[in-house]
Amino acid sequence: MIGANVSFSFDYQPGDAARPPVVFMSALFAGGWIWDHPYTSLARSGWGVLRTREAICALDSKIAGSIERLGEELLAAADAAGIGAFVLCANSLGGLVAIDMSSRYPDRIAGIVVSGAPGLTPDPDVGLNMDRRASVQLAGDEFRERMLDALFHRGRHFTEEQIEQTAQLLRRPAAMVSMARSLKATRRFDVTAAVDRTSCPALYVWGRYDRMTPIDPWLALLSDRPDTEFVVVEECGHIPMAERPDEYTSVLEGFLSRRAGLPV
Protein backbone atom coordinates (compact mmCIF):
# COMPACT_ATOMS: atom_id res chain seq x y z
CA MET A 1 0.00 0.00 0.00
CA ILE A 2 1.29 3.47 -0.84
CA GLY A 3 -0.28 6.90 -1.08
CA ALA A 4 0.44 9.76 -3.43
CA ASN A 5 3.69 11.61 -2.76
CA VAL A 6 4.80 9.03 -0.17
CA SER A 7 8.32 7.62 -0.44
CA PHE A 8 7.72 4.62 1.82
CA SER A 9 5.32 1.89 0.78
CA PHE A 10 3.92 0.04 3.76
CA ASP A 11 1.85 -2.78 5.22
CA TYR A 12 -0.93 -1.70 7.57
CA GLN A 13 -3.41 -3.61 9.72
CA PRO A 14 -5.87 -1.53 11.78
CA GLY A 15 -6.49 -2.57 15.36
CA ASP A 16 -8.38 -1.60 18.49
CA ALA A 17 -9.15 2.12 18.21
CA ALA A 18 -8.62 2.55 21.96
CA ARG A 19 -4.93 1.67 21.62
CA PRO A 20 -2.30 3.76 19.87
CA PRO A 21 -1.14 2.15 16.61
CA VAL A 22 2.45 0.93 16.41
CA VAL A 23 4.62 1.97 13.46
CA PHE A 24 7.73 -0.07 12.60
CA MET A 25 10.35 1.76 10.55
CA SER A 26 12.67 -0.18 8.26
CA ALA A 27 16.43 0.09 8.84
CA LEU A 28 19.37 1.36 6.79
CA PHE A 29 19.77 -1.64 4.49
CA ALA A 30 17.16 -4.07 5.85
CA GLY A 31 13.55 -3.83 4.80
CA GLY A 32 10.43 -4.06 6.91
CA TRP A 33 10.83 -7.84 7.14
CA ILE A 34 13.08 -7.40 10.20
CA TRP A 35 9.81 -6.68 12.07
CA ASP A 36 8.00 -9.89 11.03
CA HIS A 37 7.70 -11.27 14.56
CA PRO A 38 6.49 -8.21 16.54
CA TYR A 39 4.33 -6.99 13.63
CA THR A 40 2.48 -10.31 13.39
CA SER A 41 2.24 -10.83 17.15
CA LEU A 42 0.87 -7.36 17.88
CA ALA A 43 -1.65 -7.58 15.05
CA ARG A 44 -2.95 -10.84 16.51
CA SER A 45 -3.29 -9.15 19.91
CA GLY A 46 -5.45 -6.35 18.54
CA TRP A 47 -2.90 -3.57 18.06
CA GLY A 48 -2.95 -1.51 14.90
CA VAL A 49 0.40 -2.00 13.15
CA LEU A 50 2.15 -0.39 10.20
CA ARG A 51 5.58 -1.21 8.83
CA THR A 52 7.48 0.47 6.03
CA ARG A 53 8.81 -1.86 3.36
CA GLU A 54 11.86 -0.19 1.81
CA ALA A 55 15.29 -0.10 3.41
CA ILE A 56 16.35 3.50 4.01
CA CYS A 57 19.18 3.29 1.48
CA ALA A 58 16.63 2.34 -1.18
CA LEU A 59 15.18 5.86 -0.93
CA ASP A 60 16.38 8.95 -2.76
CA SER A 61 19.71 10.06 -1.30
CA LYS A 62 18.34 13.50 -0.38
CA ILE A 63 15.82 11.79 1.89
CA ALA A 64 18.11 9.02 3.15
CA GLY A 65 20.78 11.60 4.02
CA SER A 66 18.52 13.65 6.31
CA ILE A 67 17.22 12.55 9.72
CA GLU A 68 14.52 15.21 9.48
CA ARG A 69 13.40 14.27 5.94
CA LEU A 70 13.16 10.62 6.91
CA GLY A 71 10.86 11.57 9.77
CA GLU A 72 8.68 13.62 7.45
CA GLU A 73 8.41 10.74 4.99
CA LEU A 74 7.45 8.39 7.80
CA LEU A 75 4.70 10.80 8.88
CA ALA A 76 3.51 10.93 5.27
CA ALA A 77 3.11 7.14 5.32
CA ALA A 78 1.17 7.33 8.60
CA ASP A 79 -1.02 10.05 7.11
CA ALA A 80 -1.68 7.91 4.03
CA ALA A 81 -2.84 5.09 6.33
CA GLY A 82 -5.08 7.46 8.31
CA ILE A 83 -3.04 7.11 11.50
CA GLY A 84 -2.91 9.94 14.05
CA ALA A 85 -0.73 9.56 17.15
CA PHE A 86 1.38 6.39 17.23
CA VAL A 87 4.20 4.56 19.00
CA LEU A 88 7.29 4.40 16.77
CA CYS A 89 9.60 1.38 16.84
CA ALA A 90 12.91 1.75 15.03
CA ASN A 91 16.29 0.08 14.78
CA SER A 92 19.73 1.45 13.84
CA LEU A 93 19.52 4.71 11.84
CA GLY A 94 15.75 4.67 12.32
CA GLY A 95 16.36 5.00 16.05
CA LEU A 96 17.79 8.48 15.51
CA VAL A 97 14.75 9.34 13.42
CA ALA A 98 12.50 8.22 16.29
CA ILE A 99 14.38 10.28 18.87
CA ASP A 100 14.28 13.34 16.62
CA MET A 101 10.59 12.96 15.84
CA SER A 102 9.63 12.67 19.51
CA SER A 103 10.53 16.32 20.06
CA ARG A 104 9.48 17.75 16.70
CA TYR A 105 6.09 16.04 16.55
CA PRO A 106 4.90 15.59 20.15
CA ASP A 107 1.26 15.48 19.02
CA ARG A 108 1.97 12.50 16.76
CA ILE A 109 4.56 10.45 18.66
CA ALA A 110 2.97 8.74 21.67
CA GLY A 111 6.12 6.78 22.49
CA ILE A 112 9.37 5.54 20.98
CA VAL A 113 11.05 2.14 21.09
CA VAL A 114 14.68 2.31 19.96
CA SER A 115 17.32 -0.37 19.34
CA GLY A 116 20.86 -0.24 17.97
CA ALA A 117 20.97 3.49 17.21
CA PRO A 118 24.30 4.99 16.07
CA GLY A 119 25.75 8.36 17.01
CA LEU A 120 27.63 7.80 20.26
CA THR A 121 30.59 5.87 18.83
CA PRO A 122 32.52 5.97 15.52
CA ASP A 123 30.76 4.92 12.34
CA PRO A 124 28.95 1.62 12.83
CA ASP A 125 30.70 -1.52 11.67
CA VAL A 126 28.41 -2.77 8.90
CA GLY A 127 30.81 -5.47 7.80
CA LEU A 128 31.78 -3.48 4.70
CA ASN A 129 34.51 -0.95 4.13
CA MET A 130 32.51 1.94 2.71
CA ASP A 131 35.57 3.90 1.58
CA ARG A 132 37.24 1.02 -0.24
CA ARG A 133 34.22 -1.03 -1.17
CA ALA A 134 35.72 -2.16 -4.47
CA SER A 135 37.79 -4.60 -2.41
CA VAL A 136 34.62 -6.22 -1.05
CA GLN A 137 32.42 -8.43 -3.21
CA LEU A 138 28.80 -7.56 -2.36
CA ALA A 139 27.67 -11.10 -2.95
CA GLY A 140 28.80 -14.59 -2.14
CA ASP A 141 30.44 -15.94 0.97
CA GLU A 142 32.60 -12.91 1.83
CA PHE A 143 29.69 -10.47 1.82
CA ARG A 144 27.47 -12.92 3.68
CA GLU A 145 29.95 -13.54 6.48
CA ARG A 146 30.96 -9.89 6.91
CA MET A 147 27.37 -8.70 7.11
CA LEU A 148 26.01 -11.44 9.34
CA ASP A 149 28.97 -11.31 11.74
CA ALA A 150 28.41 -7.58 12.13
CA LEU A 151 24.70 -7.93 12.80
CA PHE A 152 24.34 -10.99 15.02
CA HIS A 153 25.98 -12.29 18.16
CA ARG A 154 25.34 -15.96 17.46
CA GLY A 155 23.87 -17.74 14.47
CA ARG A 156 22.34 -16.45 11.26
CA HIS A 157 18.88 -14.94 11.53
CA PHE A 158 18.16 -13.78 7.98
CA THR A 159 16.84 -16.09 5.30
CA GLU A 160 18.78 -16.71 2.10
CA GLU A 161 16.18 -14.64 0.25
CA GLN A 162 16.63 -11.70 2.64
CA ILE A 163 20.43 -11.87 2.35
CA GLU A 164 20.24 -11.89 -1.44
CA GLN A 165 17.72 -9.04 -1.43
CA THR A 166 20.15 -6.96 0.64
CA ALA A 167 23.08 -7.88 -1.61
CA GLN A 168 21.14 -6.83 -4.71
CA LEU A 169 20.25 -3.51 -3.10
CA LEU A 170 23.88 -2.79 -2.20
CA ARG A 171 25.00 -3.51 -5.75
CA ARG A 172 23.00 -0.49 -6.92
CA PRO A 173 25.17 2.66 -7.14
CA ALA A 174 22.26 4.87 -6.05
CA ALA A 175 21.78 2.79 -2.89
CA MET A 176 25.47 3.12 -2.03
CA VAL A 177 25.19 6.91 -2.38
CA SER A 178 22.13 6.91 -0.13
CA MET A 179 23.94 4.75 2.42
CA ALA A 180 26.99 7.04 2.45
CA ARG A 181 24.79 10.11 2.95
CA SER A 182 22.89 8.35 5.72
CA LEU A 183 26.12 7.63 7.56
CA LYS A 184 27.13 11.29 7.21
CA ALA A 185 23.78 12.27 8.73
CA THR A 186 24.50 10.17 11.81
CA ARG A 187 27.83 11.97 12.27
CA ARG A 188 26.10 15.36 12.21
CA PHE A 189 23.29 14.38 14.56
CA ASP A 190 23.65 15.59 18.18
CA VAL A 191 22.34 12.54 20.03
CA THR A 192 22.64 13.95 23.56
CA ALA A 193 20.77 17.14 22.70
CA ALA A 194 18.08 15.17 20.90
CA VAL A 195 17.58 12.81 23.83
CA ASP A 196 17.31 15.83 26.13
CA ARG A 197 14.42 17.06 23.98
CA THR A 198 12.57 13.73 24.01
CA SER A 199 9.06 14.45 25.19
CA CYS A 200 7.34 11.07 25.27
CA PRO A 201 7.72 7.69 27.01
CA ALA A 202 10.75 5.87 25.67
CA LEU A 203 11.90 2.26 25.68
CA TYR A 204 15.42 1.30 24.60
CA VAL A 205 16.02 -2.39 23.83
CA TRP A 206 19.69 -3.20 23.19
CA GLY A 207 21.63 -6.35 22.43
CA ARG A 208 24.38 -6.90 25.00
CA TYR A 209 26.86 -7.76 22.24
CA ASP A 210 25.91 -5.16 19.64
CA ARG A 211 29.13 -4.70 17.61
CA MET A 212 27.74 -2.02 15.34
CA THR A 213 26.41 0.35 18.00
CA PRO A 214 27.87 -0.69 21.38
CA ILE A 215 25.61 -0.59 24.40
CA ASP A 216 27.77 1.09 27.08
CA PRO A 217 27.57 4.72 25.83
CA TRP A 218 23.79 4.43 25.62
CA LEU A 219 23.50 2.98 29.10
CA ALA A 220 25.52 5.92 30.41
CA LEU A 221 23.53 8.52 28.47
CA LEU A 222 20.11 7.19 29.46
CA SER A 223 20.67 6.38 33.12
CA ASP A 224 18.14 8.18 35.36
CA ARG A 225 16.31 9.74 32.41
CA PRO A 226 12.65 10.38 33.28
CA ASP A 227 10.01 8.22 31.60
CA THR A 228 12.71 6.07 30.01
CA GLU A 229 13.14 2.31 30.23
CA PHE A 230 16.25 0.43 29.16
CA VAL A 231 16.21 -3.33 28.58
CA VAL A 232 19.39 -5.30 27.84
CA VAL A 233 18.88 -8.41 25.73
CA GLU A 234 21.52 -10.98 26.59
CA GLU A 235 23.18 -13.19 23.96
CA CYS A 236 22.15 -10.72 21.28
CA GLY A 237 23.72 -8.38 18.73
CA HIS A 238 22.45 -5.45 16.70
CA ILE A 239 18.95 -6.63 15.70
CA PRO A 240 17.11 -7.98 18.78
CA MET A 241 13.78 -8.17 16.96
CA ALA A 242 15.33 -10.74 14.60
CA GLU A 243 17.91 -12.46 16.81
CA ARG A 244 15.77 -12.71 19.97
CA PRO A 245 12.27 -12.11 18.59
CA ASP A 246 10.26 -13.67 21.41
CA GLU A 247 12.07 -11.64 24.05
CA TYR A 248 11.92 -8.42 22.04
CA THR A 249 8.20 -8.76 21.37
CA SER A 250 7.45 -9.59 25.00
CA VAL A 251 9.29 -6.47 26.19
CA LEU A 252 7.54 -4.36 23.56
CA GLU A 253 4.08 -5.66 24.42
CA GLY A 254 4.70 -4.99 28.11
CA PHE A 255 5.73 -1.40 27.38
CA LEU A 256 2.71 -0.81 25.13
CA SER A 257 0.27 -2.33 27.61
CA ARG A 258 1.58 -0.27 30.51
CA ARG A 259 1.33 2.92 28.50
CA ALA A 260 -2.19 2.06 27.36
CA GLY A 261 -3.31 1.13 30.88
CA LEU A 262 -3.86 -2.52 29.95
CA PRO A 263 -3.07 -5.57 32.10
CA VAL A 264 0.51 -6.76 31.61
- pLDDT of 189 above 70: yes
**How far is residue 88's CA from residue 95's CA, in Å, rounded to a whole number?**
9
Residue 256: closest CA among 84, 66, 32, 18? 18
pLDDT band at 155; cut points 50, 70, 90: confident
Lowest-confidence segment of 119-133, 157-171, 218-232 by average pLDDT: 119-133
How far is the first Cα of the chain from the last one, in angstroms, to the nearest whole number? 32
173-188 and 93-104 are packed helices; what angle lies between their axes, rounded to 10 degrees?
50
Q: 112 phi and psi, to 5 degrees?
A: -130, 145
Residue 13 to residue 231: CA distance in whole angstroms: 27
State the Cα–Cα distance between residues 61 and 7, nearest whole angstrom. Answer: 12
Of 207, 202, 213, which Cα lies nearest the Cα of 248?
Answer: 207
**Which of 171, 207, 9 has its CA nearest to residue 95?**
207
Output the pLDDT for position 260: 77
Distances from the Cα of 132 to the Cαs of 91, 118, 129, in angstroms?
A: 26, 21, 6
Question: How far apart are alpha carbons 57 and 173 in whole angstroms?
Answer: 11
In this prediction, residues 135-160 reach a mean pLDDT of 70
Model confidence, pTM: 0.91
**pLDDT tens-digit readout, 58-76:** 999 999 999 999 999 999 9
Q: Give, for 188, the enclosing helix (H) or strand (E).
A: helix 173-188
If pLDDT is split at 50, 70 and 90, which confidence band does 82 have? Answer: very high
Mean pLDDT taken over the chain: 88
**Three-state secondary structure call for residue 94:** helix
Domains and CATH numbers, the chain: 10-258 (3.40.50.1820)
How much is the pLDDT for 47? Answer: 97
What pLDDT is stored for residue 157 in this prediction? 79
pLDDT at 3 over 70: no
Q: What are phi and psi of 61, to 5 degrees?
A: -65, -25
Amino acid in the structure at residue 255: F
Q: Which of 93-102, 140-149, 177-186 has the highest mean pLDDT?
A: 93-102
